[in-house]
């Protein structure tokens, strides 16, 4: 059996497993009203009508994305679907912590700027925001802090992201700085946080699903936007319409969707998922599996240097020469060197690396590799940032929730 077929079967099997488990909840609520004998359906049974649907249509507007959880909705993008220079909405991963708002119509949306370090708290409509402030467009990369979590051992709980929680669309909006300055920042302001219009999974209106923030220095950067457009169109509902914060290069959890409040804090924000093991890692390295005391956990800021191979797709058959390409990014920094290896990291060959469209955008790279003889190969890709740090070949720094895995991406190639 060829690897391609083997892999296909594996994917099919795991897809079935997925359908049987995580779809059960949706199925139950979906069929209750339309299938009279739903009460006799065995737990986990997949109605033939759903089972027969091609796996591609699991998310109607995101063909090919892999669903990791359906409540809350979490779906990742296979590496070969990240090939575009600018990530289209259809290929952008989705990471929800709660239940998204139902009405995301810009005409009905207001948001407030407030907080103990805000001089003149005030509310804006989306329209007023667009009218009052200058518009800026940047291509900004968003990577979930948990991207790569699936590789940590001992296993970390949470969505088992492999490589697909990264995207780099183009965002248009106003600078958060301009809005904050219009409302007046007190001298004691240290952090800017958000609250979104989504609800906690429990349904409790007093609980936020997530409410994170960034220090003043990040909030005031040119590229930190309150965005109302993605790729030249209104932001899709799943990605935070009608208004989203975009803090490129930081864990994407800092980029609040469905913005209802921007809160200027006189202390490090203490909202949902700012404490404990959420988006925090041991301040100094620990042995895998260690219990880390709260005071030894530090908030993640800039994401580490990383890269991905977007073409070809892993598992292809190739002739003796092969063109490979992908993207590389380095949080707040720039990628300065990109290299590939076909011998499991023994030797490396430089790839061609392009400059970013702007600060905090990913960079494209490409290389031509030659295989010495037929057989099984892996192509590994490795980026180095402007501070001289290079991606590790093995999973780095174990941490309780499995954040910041920036190990080299690898694809399998069968050379004939
Ligand atoms: N209001 C709100 N904002 C949010 C989230 C959320 O659940 N609610 N998820 C965060 C996390 S953890 C990530 S990784 C990104 C995901 O953005 P995307 O779904 O547009 O890809 O949004 C962030 N912003
Ligand atoms: Mo995330």
Q: Mind giving me the DSSP string for 264-276?
A: EESSS--STTSST
Nearest Cα residue to atom 5 of ligand 1: 96
**How much is the average pLDDT of 293-299?**
96
Identify the pLDDT of residue 279.
Answer: 96
Model confidence, pTM? 0.87
pLDDT band of 58, cuts 50, 70, 90 = confident
Q: 195 CA distance to ligand 2 centroid (A)?
A: 15
Q: Is the CB of residue 236 below 6 angstroms from any atom belonging to ligand 1? A: no
- Of 15-19, 43-47, 406-410, which gets the smallest average pLDDT? 15-19
At 375, list the tokens.
């057989």
253, 259, 262, 279: which to mutate for ligand 1, most atoms within 8 A of CB? 253
**Does 195 score more than 50 pLDDT?**
yes
Which ligand neighbours the alpha carbon of 145 most closely? 2
**How much is the average pLDDT of 360-375?**
96
What does the CA dihedral 94, 98, 99, 105 come to, rounded to 10 degrees?
A: -70
Q: Which of 402, 399, 413, 392 is nearest to 306 (CA)?
A: 392
**How much is the average pLDDT of 294-316?**
96
Q: Give the residue with greater pLDDT, 13 vs 80.
A: 80
**Does 16 score more than 90 pLDDT?**
no
* Strand, helix or coil for residue 82: helix
Contacts of 122 (CB under 8 A, 6+ apart): 112, 113, 183
Identify the pLDDT of residue 60.
Answer: 84
Burial of 9 (0-12, 13-18, 19+ CB in 10 A): exposed
Q: Which atom in ligand 1 lies closest to the alpha carbon of residue 98?
A: 7
- Percentage of the chain exceeding pLDDT 70: 86
pLDDT band of 72, cuts 50, 70, 90 = very high
Domains of the chain: 24-53+301-416 (2.60.40.650), 69-274 (3.90.420.10)
- Percentage of the chain exceeding pLDDT 90: 83
Tokens 């409302």 locate to: 183
Q: 254 CA distance to ligand 2 centroid (A)?
A: 8
Identify the pLDDT of residue 270.
Answer: 97
Q: How many helices (H) and strands (E) does the chain have?
A: 6, 26
**Does 45 score more than 80 pLDDT?**
no
Q: Give the residue with greater pLDDT, 217 vs 40.
A: 217
How many residues are given for the chain? 416
**Does 55 score more than 90 pLDDT?**
no
Q: 95 CA distance to ligand 1 centroid (A)?
A: 5
Q: 253 CA distance to ligand 1 centroid (A)?
A: 5
Q: Is the CB of residue 257 below 6 angstroms from any atom belonging to ligand 1? A: yes
Contacts of 217 (CB under 8 A, 6+ apart): none
Identify the pLDDT of residue 320.
Answer: 95
Task: Please give the angle made by the CA atoms of 355, 358 and 360, to the nearest 5 degrees.
Answer: 95
What one-character DSSP code corresponds to residue 160?
-
At 310, list the tokens.
């977007």
Q: Which atom in ligand 1 lies closest to the alpha carbon of residue 240?
A: 20
Identify the pLDDT of residue 381.
Answer: 98
What CA–CA distance (Å, rounded) separates 387 from 3? Answer: 39
Identify the pLDDT of residue 14.
Answer: 42
Which ligand neighbours the alpha carbon of 91 most closely? 1
How many other C-beta atoms can be found within 10 angstroms of the C-beta atom of residue 256? 27
Q: On the CB side of 408, how many CA atoms lie within 13 Å of its CA?
A: 23
69, 88, 95: which to mutate for ligand 1, most atoms within 8 A of CB? 95
Q: 257 CA distance to ligand 1 centroid (A)?
A: 6
**Does 194 score more than 60 pLDDT?**
yes
68, 109, 210: which to mutate for ligand 1, most atoms within 8 A of CB? 210
Which ligand neighbours the alpha carbon of 101 most closely? 1
Q: Which of 390, 282, 381 is nearest to 330 (CA)?
A: 390
> What are phi and psi for residue 249, nearest 5 degrees?
85, -10
Helix ranges (H only) for 184-258 are 216-219
Burial of 355 (0-12, 13-18, 19+ CB in 10 A): exposed
Q: Is the CB of residue 258 below 6 angstroms from any atom belonging to ligand 1? A: yes
pLDDT band of 48, cuts 50, 70, 90 = low
Which ligand neighbours the alpha carbon of 210 most closely? 1
Q: Quote the longest CA-to-CA distance of the chain.
A: 70
Contact 322, 369 (CB under 8 A): yes
Contact 136, 175 (CB under 8 A): yes
Which ligand neighbours the alpha carbon of 273 most closely? 1
Q: 23-32 and 3-21 are packed helices; what angle lies between their axes, rounded to 10 degrees?
A: 50
* Strand, helix or coil for residue 142: strand
Helix, strand, coil % (nearest 5) of the chain?
20, 30, 50
Q: Is the CB of residue 146 below 6 angstroms from any atom belonging to ligand 1? A: no
Identify the pLDDT of residue 39.
Answer: 62
At 252, list the tokens.
């994407």
Contacts of 114 (CB under 8 A, 6+ apart): 121, 261, 262, 263, 264
């Amino acid at each position: 059996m060829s690897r391609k077929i083997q892999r296909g079967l594996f994917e099919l099997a795991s897809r079935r497993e997925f359908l049987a488990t995580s779809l059960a909840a949706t199925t139950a609520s979906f069929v209750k009203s339309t299938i009279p004998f739903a009460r006799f359906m065995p737990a986990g049974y997949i109605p033939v009508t759903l089972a027969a649907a091609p796996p591609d249509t699991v998310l109607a507007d995101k063909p090919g994305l892999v669903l990791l959880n359906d409540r809350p909705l979490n779906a990742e993008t296979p590496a070969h679907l990240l090939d575009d220079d600018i990530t289209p909405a259809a290929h952008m991963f989705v990471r929800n912590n709660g239940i998204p708002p139902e009405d995301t119509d810009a005409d009905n949306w207001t948001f407030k700027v407030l907080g103990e370090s805000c001089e003149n708290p005030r509310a804006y409509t989306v329209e007023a925001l667009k009218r009052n402030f200058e518009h800026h467009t940047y291509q900004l990369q968003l990577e979930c802090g948990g991207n790569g979590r699936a590789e940590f051992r001992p296993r970390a709980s949470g969505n088992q992201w492999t490589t697909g929680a990264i995207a780099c669309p183009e965002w248009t909006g106003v600078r958060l700085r301009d809005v904050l300055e219009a409302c007046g920042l007190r001298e004691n302001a240290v952090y800017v946080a958000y609250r979104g219009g989504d609800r906690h999974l429990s349904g409790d209106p007093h609980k936020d699903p997530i409410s994170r923030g960034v220090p003043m220095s990040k909030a005031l950067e040119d590229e930190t936007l309150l965005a109302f457009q993605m790729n030249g169109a209104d932001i899709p509902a799943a990605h935070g319409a009608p208004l989203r914060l975009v803090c490129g290069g930081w864990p994407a959890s800092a980029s609040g969707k469905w913005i209802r409040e921007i809160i200027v804090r006189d202390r490090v924000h203490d909202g949902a998922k700012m404490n404990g093991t959420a988006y925090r890692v041991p301040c100094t390295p620990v042995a895998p599996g260690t219990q880390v005391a709260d005071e030894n956990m530090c908030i993640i800021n800039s994401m580490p240097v990383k890269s991905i191979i977007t073409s070809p797709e892993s598992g292809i058959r190739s002739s003796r020469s092969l063109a490979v390409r992908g993207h590389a990014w380095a949080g707040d920094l720039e990628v300065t060197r990109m290299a590939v290896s076909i011998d499991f990291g023994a030797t490396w060959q430089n790839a061609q690396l392009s400059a970013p469209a702007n600060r905090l955008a990913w960079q494209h790279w490409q290389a031509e590799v030659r295989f010495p003889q037929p057989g099984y190969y892996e192509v590994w890709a490795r980026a180095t940032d402007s501070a001289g740090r290079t991606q590790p070949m093995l999973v780095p720094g174990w941490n309780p929730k499995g954040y910041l895995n920036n190990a080299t991406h690898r694809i399998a190639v069968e050379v004939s």
